[in-house]
Amino acid sequence: MRLVSLLSLPIAAALVRAAAYKGSQHKVKESIDAPPRGWVRHGPAPSDHTLELKIALPQPHFPILEKHLWEVSDPKHERYGAHLSKQEAEALMAPNPETLDEVSEWLASHGIEEEHLYRSSAQDWVTIRVPVSLAEEMLDTNYHIYTHSETGESIVRTTSYSLPGLLHEHVELIQPTTMFARFKAFKSTLHWANTVSSGSPSPTSGTITGPAGNQVNASCNNTITVSCLRQLYNAVDYNTSATNGNKIALTGYLEQYANDMDLQQFYQLENPTAYGSNYTFVSVHGGMNNQSYDAAGVEANLDTQFAFGLTYPTPGTFYSTAGEPPFIPDMVTPTDTNEPYSYWLDYILAQEYLPQTISTSYGDDEQTVPPAYAARVCSEFAILGARGVSLMFSSGDGGVGDGNPDPATQQCYTNSGLNRTVFLPEFPAACPFVTSVGGTVNIPETAVFFSGGGFSNYFPRPAYQDTVVSKFLDSLAPGIYEGLYNPYGRGIPDVAAQAYDFLIVYQGQEGYVAGTSCSSPSFASFVSMLNDARISAGQSSLGFLNPWLYSAGYAGLNDITEGNNPGCGTEGFNATIGWDPVTGLGTPNFEKLKALALA
């Protein structure tokens, strides 16, 4: 009898806690004034519609992890390059045991037991699949169908959700709730190689002088190839290793598939030595890589062809993360779309060994991402940096916002409902723990007109930017763009690379692509070469790049001083001497960077 009574105590306690949650008053955890511009609310979401809720638990030891990040990323620190292992990072990501118990009891009070949920490797995310009716009960909210007026896509979201007051300190955020970000690929329209290129009308024969003082084929002023980038950025004679452990990776979302036949045709065209080689495909959350020509993705083809073509024979990886289809109200058993970075981060952070360089060409306006979610995702990018990964993100293709210099037709408005005009920085490029890459065009290089740049409204300016960003702001005419941007925010981008008229193969045909989706994998390729050189010399990978770039690496970059990035009814910012919010610190001179990286 005594044994039975003792065993019953935990059960009784759990029942008491469950009753406490059932009876606890809900308090608003997160809310937004209104959905982002373009989203229109329709009817209530069907009660049996399935939501995959991701619950982020607090990481109380993250400040310690961040301290590690700054130390191992600072070339002047004695711990430079001493990156954390998976186990060390996870120990600093883990929630408090009390948090795990409280959240488990709350879920159990709604009938969700351990076998019905998924936990991340560090236990800091919990994922559950529940019908809308149960989600509304748990979160004291009402979900609706929202349709985007431009694209026609529909999603299920809410503008506010609540949690029992007892739970607030144990839950950082829950999504999908207030997240309306669309996370588009950064690219402009493909145009075919037999049409007139809109690049510089320069001669296509002979040579011109590149920024390193070397001769570059004149044709590179109209068509960017693998050879052009190696010439322009001074890496013609560098050969990477296939066996020293260095790797480069690319992320793919939104059903963007990399076509292998196109890749081989591209190799024959631009890097014959790579012909017959392949990459490692990794499916994340059910992501696929459909090999029919019809399914080929311009973005995925661009990324794989140039990144793997530039760095061959460095082993390459393509991560395809499933983005579930948009909600269609008349489907019998619909599932909902969820922001894809969380799935990819969940996967990649659980891996023992990571590629040293990763490029991503996707994002959306920072203001469409709830601040709590942006901060959490950004902190997980920091964890990758602490583990020795260099992360590159496209800075965006809208200049300071929408790419439109006409005040009468610009579309840069706040989500506050006041329709106030503001510049629109991009996320994740605004995260201070990634390297954001803007775009250039022509030789000599100038800023390309669509190069995304500006200042974050979420993230304060990091210390590594203080000197150069302050200098840029001091150079501006008094009062210019006052109220349109946050002068105390993280500056975007950090660096730049060519972003116009990249010759790719798509569905068996040659075509041109432009966008910072060109510049990010290109810059990442030269970073991968730097990692290759360091690893071959017995050194660590560079990891989080920015502290090195702003303190030493800038001396190996070509400063871009001409061009601007219009948008939001303005001409945007100007490229100028030193850092600027159009091209950052500049474009790579590989041989100079290599000497600095090996010093």
Contacts with 375 (C-beta within 8 Å, 6 or more apart), sequence order: 458, 459
In the 8-state DSSP scheme, what is residue 597?
H
Two structure tokens written together for 365? 């306006």
CB atoms under 10 Å from CB of 91, counted, come to 14
Tens-binned pLDDT, residue by residue, of the chain (599 aa)? 333 333 444 444 445 555 666 667 999 999 998 898 889 999 999 999 999 999 999 999 999 999 999 999 999 999 999 999 999 999 999 999 999 999 999 999 999 999 999 999 999 999 999 999 999 999 999 999 999 888 888 899 999 999 999 999 999 999 999 998 877 777 655 666 654 444 444 566 799 999 999 999 999 999 999 999 999 999 999 999 999 999 999 999 888 899 999 999 999 999 999 999 999 999 999 999 999 999 999 999 999 999 999 999 999 999 999 865 444 444 333 344 555 788 899 999 999 999 999 999 988 899 988 899 999 999 999 999 999 999 999 999 999 999 999 999 999 999 877 789 999 999 999 999 999 999 999 999 999 999 999 999 999 999 999 999 999 999 999 999 999 999 999 999 999 999 999 999 999 999 999 999 999 999 999 999 999 999 999 999 999 999 999 999 999 999 999 999 999 999 999 999 999 999 999 999 999 999 999 99
Q: Which residues of 535-563 are buried (b: 16+ CB within 10 A; e: fewer)?
A: beeeeebbbbbbbbbbeebbebbbbbbeb
Task: Specify the 3-state DSSP secondary structure of 460.
Answer: strand
The whole-angstrom separation of Cα 359 and Cα 311 is: 13
Q: Residue 16 has what pLDDT?
A: 56
Q: Residue 339 has what pLDDT?
A: 59
Q: Residue 202 has what pLDDT?
A: 55
Q: Which residues pair with 31 in a beta bridge?
A: 160
Q: Residue 492 has what pLDDT?
A: 98
> The dihedral of CA 172, 177, 180, 181: what is its sign?
positive
Task: State which H helix or E strand residue 3 sits in.
Answer: helix 2-23
| C-alpha neighbours within 13 Å on the C-beta side of residue 236 | 11
Q: Residue 189 has what pLDDT?
A: 56
Q: Long-range contacts made by residues 505-509, C-beta under 8 angstroms, separation at least 24?
A: 505/262, 505/263, 505/265, 505/266, 505/269, 505/301, 505/305, 506/190, 506/259, 506/262, 506/296, 506/298, 506/301, 507/259, 507/262, 507/293, 507/294, 507/296, 508/261, 508/262, 508/265, 508/293, 509/192, 509/193
Ramachandran quadrant class, 94 (left: phi over 0; alpha: psi -120 to 50; beta: rest): beta
Phi, psi (rounded to 5 degrees) for 95: -70, 165
- CB of 455 within 8 A of CB of 584? no
Q: Residue 232 has what pLDDT?
A: 98
Beta strand pairing call for 390-394 and 454-460? unpaired
The whole-angstrom separation of Cα 385 and Cα 461 is: 18
Two structure tokens written together for 354? 């990571």
In the 8-state DSSP scheme, what is residue 413?
B
Two structure tokens written together for 313? 């024979």
- CB of 210 within 8 A of CB of 93? no
Q: Which residues pair with 464 in a beta bridge?
A: none
Q: Residue 325 has what pLDDT?
A: 43
Report, as residue numbers or ranges, the catalytic residues: 299, 303, 517
Give the predicted TM-score (pTM) of the model: 0.93
Of 241, 232, 194, the residue nearest 213 (C-alpha): 232
Q: Residue 20 has what pLDDT?
A: 64
Task: State which H helix or E strand residue 67 sits in.
Answer: helix 62-73
